[in-house]
Structure 1
Amino acid sequence: MASAPQAQSLPLFYKDLRPLSSQEHSDYTLRRAESAPFLAGVHAVPLTVEEFPLVQRRMPIVFSLGDEPVPLALLGLNEGVNLFFDDEGKPVEQDLYIPAYIRRYPFLLAKLQPDAEELSLCFDPSADDVIGKFDDGEALFTDGQPSEFTKAILQFNEQFEQAGQRTAMFMKEIGEMGLLMDGEVSIQPEGAPQPFIYRGFQMVDENKINEMRGDQLRKMVQNGMLPLIYAHLMSLNLMRELFARQMQQGKVPEPQAGV
C-alpha cells in the first residue's frame, strides 16, 4: 500500500498533491468535515491488516487483482455502489467504522522527489472546502511552526505508513505461500432466472489452509497471520448481505456483473 504518488497517477481520492509548507500555508486551517463527497460511488477502499478485526463484521474484506494485491473493504458489490455512505458522502448508519485510508484524506505522506528517502506531509489542494484560508477551523501553523493539531495529523499519517508496511509484509507472505486464488461468489436470488456472479477479486484458498502442517499453522498463529486470514474469510459471508441491501435499493445490475 505505497502512499508515494507516481508520475502518472495518484492514489484513490487524490486529484493533486502539494507539500504542506509553513511559508506558503502559514494561515491555513482545516475545517471539520461533516461529509466526504469524494466517497460517493466508491465501492472499495484499501485497508491495513490492523483494521481486519474492526471491519470483518460490517464489510467484506477481499484482495485486489494484480502482481501486488492489496486488501480492500467492499462498500458495495458493484462499481458505483456505496451502501455505507450516501451521495453526499455522509455515513448512512451510526457508529460506522471508517477505514483509516478515508480518514487521512486530504493528507498524505509522499516523496517530494522520486529518489528522496524521506516522506513529507502533503495535502490535496482540490479539497478546498476543508483546507484553506478560513476564519474557522483548526490552525495548521502557529508562529511559523506546525501546530499541535498538525503534529497529530503527521503522527496519524506516520502510523498509517507503518501499518501499510506491515500490510505489505503480510501480503508478501501469503503470496509466497500461494494462499491466494481468484475469487468468485455466486448469488441466486429467489425468482431470478440465473445467478449473479461476482468476480474480479482475490481471496484466500481455505482448502490450502486446511492442508497445512501443524507447525506451519502454529507459526501463523504466533506471527498473527492466521487470525487475519480467518477475519478475511469470515467477512466474505457479508457479500450476500450487501447483495440483499443492493436488491432492496434497486442497485443490482444484470447477472454476470463483476466486483
Structure 2
Amino acid sequence: MSSPLYDCRDDAQLLAGMRHARQAISHGELIVMPTDTVYGVAADAFNATAVQRLLEAKGRGRQSPPPVLVPGIRTLRALAAEVPEPVERLVDAFWPGGLTIVLRSQPSLSWDLGDTHGTVAVRMPANRIALELLEETGPLAVSSANRTGMAAAISADDAERMLGDSVAAYLDDGASTTGIASTIIDATTLVGEGEPLVRVLREGAITRDDLRAVLGDLLEDDSTDSGADVPPTGQPIGGTE
C-alpha cells in the first residue's frame, strides 16, 4: 500500500495531513514536506534511528549529516553553543528564508545527526506549512526529498517517485516557487580564536552580495573560497535545505 499524499491546499486534507505528519514524526517515521526552497524529507532531529532512516532513504551515509529546520531564532539559540552578533544580523535579514547557517552545536544536546564534528547547520524556512509543523514537532532533520545523485524534488509527486513508501506521508503544497536551494554558510569561526570570517559553502537563494551587505569584511572573499562542500569544522552538508 502506497503512502498517502495530502493536498494541503485543501483545508480538509491539510488538517488530516498535518495530523498524520505529526504522528509519523513522533513514531520515528519520515515525511515529505514543502519548504520555500525545494521539498524536504524530514525526521525528528532527536531520534537517531529516524535520522539514520532518512539517510538510508536518500542513499547517503553518516558522513553527510542533514541540516536542521527550526521555527525561529529561539530554537537556534537552544541548538547552537553560541549565536554571535553577526549571525543575529543575518537572521534578522534573511530568516525566514533561504539561508542555512553552520554553527558549533550545543555540546549538551542528546542527538546524533551523523558525523557533524560538533557543528549543526540550521535554517528557518519561509513556508506556512513547514513553520506550523516545526512549531508542533520541534526541530526536524530535513534534507532535499530526492535520492542521492538525482535532482531535488520541486513537487510532492517528484519526491514520491524517488522515495516511495520509505516515507510515511507526503504533504503537497504545489510546485516550489523557485526550486533554488538555500545558501549555506559556515559561521563557526566567528566564535573562539583565529580570524573571524564567514565562508560561503554553497551559493543559492541568498547571493554573496546580499550577505556582504550585512557582513561587510566578515564575509570571506570569493577568491579564497575553495567551493568545497565541507566547512573547516569537517561537517559535510547533507542536503539542499
Place the TM-score, normalised by the shorter chain, in its bin: under 0.3
> Over alpha carbons, which structure has the higher Rg?
1
TM-score by length of 2: 0.25
**TM-score (normalised: structure 1):** 0.24
